[in-house]
Structure 1
Amino acid sequence: MFPEHTPRPPAVRAAEVHHPVPLTPAVPAPAPLVAVQPDTVPAVASVVLPDGRVVTGYAITPAHPDPATVKPAVSRTAVNVAVGGVGFLAVCGGLLMLTAFITALTALITQLIVLAAVVFGGFVAVQVFTGKGHKAGTTVNIRRAVIKRNHFHS
């Protein structure tokens, strides 16, 4: 073989090790602290840890939230929804009563119309089917009729 075409052993490189770097979250800059002179100097407390170390510092009282920022037990939205539901049920009951009233009124009007038809029809039937010999009205007896020039002469 040719010397320029001989394979070379691969170059040995040092292994690169990458260590993960934790990302710190973007936190807004803290508000500047204003030095406030306390009314009394707080007491210094010392705590002995189980391994024998002593930690000394000021006792911190827990912060109590303002009474105005305490959230109510029930949200206003839930109260509004509940009140709206009660109002809707009241309206539905009223609409149901109104529907029943309209139905009853329609039935009454229908019965009155049927009653009027029966009474009027009975009156007409009595007038038609009565067998009286003399009826009210004018009786005309025609004995001899003479018709001249499209005129009736009696």
Structure 2
Amino acid sequence: MYLDHTPHVPIQRAVEVHQPTPYPPAVTVPAPVVPVQPGAVPTVASIVLPDGRVVTGYAIDAARPEPVAAKPAVSRAAVNVALGGVGFLAVCGGLILLTSFIAALTAFITQLIILAAVIFGGWIAVQIFSTNGHHGGTTVNIRRAVIKRNHFHG
């Protein structure tokens, strides 16, 4: 029922029918002839498809896996661990030599500092206690000094 109360009239449309267009038959190209050695003629197999057609062809041999290479007597992991150990030992030896060198260098520098202190101290002592040359300051003869009432008279 429509709100405008007009009767419903169906719309007529033209019906189009499509017919499939057949393809022309494919040109069959003969397969190239492959020379086969006399003792190795492959077997021919035929397969019947569900629609009744028969497909004939050479049977394909199953893919053979490549031969596995012989495993070495010692695993690669063991060789890597051994080489790592040798490298670690070489580094440790180098570190021991390095620490020995640093300790020797430290001792040498310490000895140089002590030697410089001894030489400089000796030079200072010679300068202080030498009697020849000019004497700076005032020389007081203590024996002649007279001390009266906490006063020094020289």
TM bracket, shorter-chain basis = 0.3 to 0.5
Taking structure 2 as the reference length, the TM-score comes to 0.44
Q: TM-score, normalization: structure 1?
A: 0.44
